[in-house]
Amino acid sequence: MRRQNRGRKTLRWAVVLVGAVGTMGVLQGCIIGTAIGGMAESARRTGSTEFPADYSGLQGKSYAVVVAVDRLTQAQHPGLVARLTSGVNDRLAHPENGVGASAFIPSVDLLNVLYQTPQWPAMPPGEVAEMLGVERLIMVELFDYQLHEAGNRYVWNGVAAGAVTLYESDSGIPDDPVYERSIRVTFPDGTGFMAADIPQSGVTSELSRRFINRVAWLFYVHEEPNTIAY
């Protein structure tokens, strides 16, 4: 009888031990799974994704960037046209971005020509490209540019929206677009921000930077943060 009882006790402890080991294995599996999931999420948040160019036809071609903004917006935001034109033009001209264009017009010279020809927005695209002496004309039309909520000049609610149109002047249809894309960015990313939180210069600078990014990125392979807000 005593041997039988001992055998039962041993069997009971063995079952308990196996159960404990099994539970530890499950817990370890959960911990490992959670850790791997956490690392994957962290990688997603801190990582980036590579995107191809939407239009790669600048390779081996000369180009110019022109930005059209209505007169009222220009009056309300002096310097906006120059900032957007130079921003996109300089980004595409940067050799690290690999656009591969054969030639471009430096931003200072480009702006001088456009300022001296104020009627250029009314000209056919082919004529504008011919005036600038380029094979590719990138036209950016800004339709909406606001820094505040409608009817509330105290709260920031910036938006920049427009269209990017590309013309190939060396084709048989220099006035017909071969590529079009709408762009819209906003800033700040939250609501209720006022001048005490972000100065106007900060809103203008970041809104322009985001718009410039979205326009320039269309023309070269680039990386975007996985958690980008615009």
- Interval 13-41: pLDDT, tens: 343 433 444 544 544 555 655 555 555 45
| Residues 40-76 pLDDT 10s | 455 556 799 999 999 999 999 999 999 999 999 999 9
- The secondary structure of 87-101 as a DSSP string is HHHHHHH-GGG----
Compute CA 214 distance to the chain's CA centroid, rounded to the nearest angstrom: 4
Beta bridge partners of 116: none
- At residue 46, the pLDDT reads 76
Number of Cβ within a 10 Å radius of residue 63: 25
Return the higher-pLDDT residue of 153 and 84: 84
Length of the chain counted residue by residue? 230
pLDDT higher than 50, residue 120 = yes
- At residue 11, the pLDDT reads 38
